[in-house]
Every structure is written in C-alpha cells, then in structure tokens.
Amino acid sequence: MSAQMNRAQSSSGWLKSYYYLRFAVSAAWVLAAVTVAKSAPPLAAVMLVAYPAWDALANYVDAQRSGGLGRNKSQLLNFVVSILTAIAVAIALGRGMAAVLAVYGVWAVVSGAFQLLTAVRRWKTSGAQWAMILSGAQSALAGLFFVKMAGGAEAIGIANVAPYAAFGAFYFLVSAVWLSVGDMLRKSRQVAS
C-alpha cells in the first residue's frame, strides 16, 4: 500500500510540475503572439511552427515519465500528430495564413481528442483530470472553428491562434493548482492524524 501511495505521489508531483511548465510556456507564447509577433511575420512563422513542435516534445517527455510511449498510446499518437503538424505548418506558411489556420484546426481536433483520451486514462490515478478533459473537448471544438475561419474572407494572423493557446494555458494552470491544493490538503490531513 505504501509503495502504491509513493507512486501516486510521485506521479502527482510530476504532473503538477508538468502542468505548471505547460502553463508557463503557453502563456509566454500567447504574450509574444499578441505583442511582438503579430507585427513581425518572420517571428510569427517561427512561433507557429514551434507551438506544435513544443506540444510534441511535451507529450514525449510526459509519456516517458508515465511509463513510456508504448504504455501511453494516446500520447504516442499526439506526439506523432504534433510533429507532423509542425512540418505541415512550415509547408502551409508558403501558402498563407488561411492554410496555416486550417492545419491548426485539424491538429486541434485530433490532438484535443488524444488529450481527452489521456485524461480519461489518468482519471483513476491522478487528480485534476476534469480540466484536461474539458481542455481536450474545447480544443476539438476550437479546431472546427479554425477550419471554418480558414475558409472565410477575413484577414488571419497569429493573433487568431492566441486565444486557443490562452485557453490551453488556463486549463494547465487550473490542473496544476488543483493538484497543488490536493497535495496541501492531503499533507494537512496526514499531519492532523
């Protein structure tokens, strides 16, 4: 029983750090997107490729810390899809922002579904998964909106992607805080007993 509790605490500690890191990177990306990058197309291009590449790296590292890619099929698939998306975004940049937004839309739908599956799998062993389930579902819906927007006539830029990344940052922060509060409550109960 003690070994199982230690494993759960170790997993919770990793997820807490992971979610805080994902929040920080996404928040920094959003800040750069709405300030500097929206008027600097070369920077915006780099950031648009970097965002799914970062997601791939984050999924890879999280899966490795959680038993490996072989045991975490949804993260393996999310890793592969995010790498392919980074490549597709780099190619789509040559066709314009509507093409980039369409790629982001498809990616948001697929990666959102994989994020949701990962959260459902973790539901029994880790807290704060309700926020990750909401995040995955909202990502999929945002992706459909991106695909629709890409076919429209309005001007598109990196600022159109920023709200999507901001919501992702929010959900990672909620999950991290939820895990932190849960840890504090558990520790205070242990001290009291």
Taking only the tens place, the pLDDT of each residue in 91-150 is 999 999 999 999 999 999 999 999 999 999 988 777 679 999 999 999 999 999 999 999
Measure the CA–CA gap between 43 and 39, rounded to whole angstroms: 9
pLDDT score of 1: 41
Measure the CA–CA gap between 95 and 108, rounded to whole angstroms: 20
35 sits in which H/E element: helix 2-35
For tokens 């939820």, name the residue.
178
State the first-to-last Cα distance of the chain, in angstroms, to the nearest integer.
18
- Asked whether 93 and 45 are in contact (CB, 8 A), the reply is yes
- Asked whether 148 and 109 are in contact (CB, 8 A), the reply is no
Domain segments of the chain: what residues?
2-192
Measure the CA–CA gap between 32 and 118, rounded to whole angstroms: 29
Query: CB count, 10 Å around CB of 76?
Result: 17
Q: Look up the pTM and report it.
A: 0.89
| Structure confidence at residue 66 as a pLDDT band (50, 70, 90) | confident
DSSP-assigned states of every residue in 42-72: HHHHHHHHHHHHHHHHHHHHHHHHTT-GGG-
Q: Which of 4-13, 51-60, 82-91, 145-154 has the lowest mean pLDDT?
A: 4-13
Q: Which of 90, 25, 33, 30 is nearest to 62 (CA)?
A: 25
Measure the CA–CA gap between 1 and 110, rounded to whole angstroms: 37
pLDDT score of 3: 45
| CA dihedral sign of residues 48, 50, 56, 61 | negative
Q: Between residues 111 and 67, which one has the greater pLDDT? A: 111
